[in-house]
Amino acid sequence: GQQVMQIPQYQHVQEGEDFTTYCNSSTTLSNIQWYKQRPGGHPVFLIQLVKSGEVKKQKRLTFQFGEAKKNSSLHITATQTTDVGTYFCAGGGSGYALNFGKGTSLLVTP
């Protein structure tokens, strides 16, 4: 079945440094979603990408969907302590359900 791999598993940065997490799928995705989960919380939807090569920005966050629709990335510019949490990607295929990556846990130290 469809597999979504996410790297790195953990990332520790100093406040102000940039951060990137990557998702790769073994099959072509119809769309990809990104979520953020704060410690002790539940996943919160950030964005959906649908088009090949799509790039979307939300303030310091930049999301990209690859040309082949098999990979995606989330880049955070100049991290802040409020960015701490686990970032998940989830790929949509032909069915109703999403396949989640295992997430990247981001730790930001001041």
Partner 1 sequence: DVKVTQSSRYLVKRTGEKVFLECVQDMDHENMFWYRQDPGLGLRLIYFSYDVKMKEKGDIPEGYSVSREKKERFSLILESASTNQTSMYLCASSSDGQIKYFGPGTRLTVT
Contact segment (CB under 8 A) with partner 1 among 1-9, 14-22, 54-62, 71-79 equals: 1-9
Minimum distance, C-beta of residue 21 to partner 1, in the bound complex (Å): 13
Contact segment (CB under 8 A) with partner 1 among 51-59, 64-72, 77-85, 100-108 equals: 100-108
Torsion of CA 36, 38, 42, 47, to 10 degrees: -20
**Of 34, 32, 24, 33, whose CA–CA distance to 3 is shortest?**
24
Minimum distance, C-beta of residue 78 to partner 1, in the bound complex (Å): 27
Instruction: Decide: residue 73, CB within 10 A, 0-12 exposed, 13-18 middle, 19+ buried.
Output: middle
> Which distant-in-sequence residues (6+ apart) come within 8 Å of 63 by Cβ?
34, 46, 47, 49, 54, 55, 56, 57, 72, 73, 74, 75
23 binds partner 1 (CB under 8 A): no
13 binds partner 1 (CB under 8 A): no
Q: Between residue 35 and residue 94, which ones bind partner 1 under the rule CB under 8 A?
A: 41-45, 48, 88, 90, 92
Q: Which residues bind partner 1 (CB under 8 A)?
A: 1, 6, 9, 30-31, 33, 41-45, 48, 88, 90, 92, 96-103
